């Protein structure tokens, strides 16, 4: 199971030249993996995922006592120390691991950079994240490239380098579409930089992976901000205001700005007996159908990632479930009632969405 580190970055900037001086060059060769060591590492990962970090560390320690050059065990131990907030030990192990020419080198660099982030050495951290990304792009045998992209993207965002953040977060999403954090941060970057429809799409992926958390609630708000019904004036007329300065490098969504607010409007005759939540869910279903027919978007990032996901969700019968889920996460009472009565649909959607990447 791949691991992801959320960096807590500060805004202070330091000289980037220091980073290379603090990390040793990889000159050592790691030792091989025995069947017994592999089993102990697998056991340790399960313990780590259960939050039993000390027990996991004990498993990795057994491997390293027998084989000090096992970089897989070294990395997993460093990661467990990082997770339990023992940054000094995580840094010590990762610096030792960085001495080896191993598949885990990118991951060791990412832990080191994450510790530096927490120490306020933001420029040093970014420089090392960038080095990790460069290594991973040059040699695909290195593990952990997508989480290096993720951490670098978060770092850029904290430094208000939003264009750079957006570009590397897209690579993180492409590398692991099932990672909630990469999709969530990309949704936030899209929102803050006025990419409304891409933000909605990224938020939809977040909600397919995670519910009933602060991130999920925030994702529902991002989604609703774009698909909320337009307001009518006193005469019943609809006024739609377009942002003529909206960026188009992620796709031209001008047409969607015109229509999205109308997709969830109530028709007195056709929608008789339907709740507002029913109408919203139908609007989500319609939006996906329109995007499926939009050939101009197919070559864009969202056209390669989010739109095919949502189109497949519609084919599997999950698109309306997503609509109700968006509302339910925001406390809508009608959607709450629907989700309470359709738990099997929510489970089916969640199970399908979690495994979507491997189904492609």
| Model pLDDT for residues 61-90, shown as the tens digit of each residue | 999 999 999 999 999 999 999 999 999 999
Task: Give the per-residue pLDDT at 319.
Answer: 96
In DSSP notation, 27-64 reads: -BPPPP--HHHHHHHHHHHHHHHTT-HHHHHHHHHHHH
State the sign of the Cα–Cα–Cα–Cα dihedral 177, 183, 186, 190: positive
Q: How confident is the model at residue 9 (pLDDT cuts 50, 70, 90)?
A: very low
**223: CB partners within 8 A, 6+ apart:** 200, 203, 204, 207, 326
| Whether 289 contacts 314, CB under 8 Å | yes
Alpha helices (H) along the chain: 17-22, 35-49, 53-66, 71-83, 87-97, 105-118, 122-138, 145-158, 162-175, 180-192, 196-209, 214-227, 254-259, 276-292, 301-304, 306-315, 319-329, 333-341, 343-354, 356-359
Burial (CB count <10 Å: 0-12, 13-18, 19+), residue 148:
buried
Question: CA torsion, points 200, 205, 208, 209, in degrees to nearest 10?
Answer: -130
As a whole number of angstroms, the distance between CA 273 and CA 264 comes to 15
As a whole number of angstroms, the distance between CA 134 and CA 323 comes to 39
CATH 1.25.40.10 domain position(s) in the chain: 22-205
Query: For residue 286, what are its two tokens?
Result: 């319609």
| Whether 98 contacts 112, CB under 8 Å | yes
As a whole number of angstroms, the distance between CA 47 and CA 316 comes to 34
To the nearest 10 degrees (0 to 180), the angle between helices 196-209 and 306-315 is 60
Q: How confident is the model at residue 226 (pLDDT cuts 50, 70, 90)?
A: confident
pLDDT digits 0-9 by tens, 302-347: 999 999 999 999 999 999 999 999 999 999 999 999 999 999 999 9
Please compute the mean of the pLDDT values over residues 176-191 and round it to a whole number.
97
Please compute the mean of the pLDDT values over residues 269-284 and round it to a whole number.
84
Q: Does residue 240 surpass a pLDDT of 60?
A: no
Q: Does residue 7 surpass a pLDDT of 70?
A: no
pLDDT digits 0-9 by tens, 38-59: 999 999 999 999 999 999 999 9
Q: Does residue 10 surpass a pLDDT of 80?
A: no
- Degrees to nearest 5, angle at CA 114 with 111 and 117: 155
Assigned architecture for domain 22-205? Alpha Horseshoe (1.25)
| Residue 323 to residues 113, 184, 213, 286, Cα–Cα distance (Å) | 39, 18, 17, 11
Task: Give the per-residue pLDDT at 167.
Answer: 97
């Amino acid at each position: 199971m791949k691991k992801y580190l959320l960096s807590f970055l500060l805004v202070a900037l330091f000289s980037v030249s220091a980073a290379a001086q603090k990390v040793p060059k990889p000159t050592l060769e790691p030792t091989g993996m025995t069947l017994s060591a592999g089993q102990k590492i697998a056991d340790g990962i399960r313990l780590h995922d259960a939050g039993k970090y000390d027990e996991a560390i004990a498993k990795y320690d057994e491997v390293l006592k027998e084989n000090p050059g096992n970089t897989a065990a070294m990395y997993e131990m460093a990661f467990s120390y990082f997770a339990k907030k023992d940054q000094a030990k995580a840094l010590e192990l990762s610096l030792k691991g960085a001495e080896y020419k191993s598949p885990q080198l990118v991951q060791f660099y990412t832990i080191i950079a994450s510790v530096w982030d927490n120490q306020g050495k933001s420029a040093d951290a970014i420089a090392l994240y960038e080095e990790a990304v460069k290594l991973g792009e040059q040699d695909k045998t290195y593990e952990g490239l997508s989480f290096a992209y993720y951490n670098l993207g978060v770092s850029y965002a904290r430094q208000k380098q939003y264009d750079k953040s957006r570009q590397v977060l897209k690579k993180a999403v492409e590398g692991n579409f099932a990672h909630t954090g990469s999709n969530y941060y990309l949704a936030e970057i899209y929102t803050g930089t006025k990419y409304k429809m891409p933000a909605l799409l990224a938020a939809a992926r977040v909600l397919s992976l995670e519910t009933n958390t602060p991130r999920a609630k925030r994702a529902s708000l991002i989604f609703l901000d774009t698909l909320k019904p337009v307001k009518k004036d006193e005469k019943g007329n609809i006024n739609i205001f377009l942002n003529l300065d909206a960026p188009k490098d992620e796709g031209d969504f001008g047409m969607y700005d015109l229509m999205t607010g109308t997709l969830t409007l109530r028709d007195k005759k056709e929608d008789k007996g339907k709740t507002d939540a029913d109408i919203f869910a139908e609007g989500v279903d319609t939006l996906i159908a329109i995007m499926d027919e939009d050939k101009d978007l197919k070559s864009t990032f969202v056209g390669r990632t989010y739109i095919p996901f949502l189109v497949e969700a519609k084919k599997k019968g999950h698109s309306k479930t997503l609509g109700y889920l968006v509302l339910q996460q925001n406390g809508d009472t009608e959607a709450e009632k629907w989700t309470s009565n359709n738990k099997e649909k929510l489970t089916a959607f969640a199970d399908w969405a979690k495994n979507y990447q491997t189904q492609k």
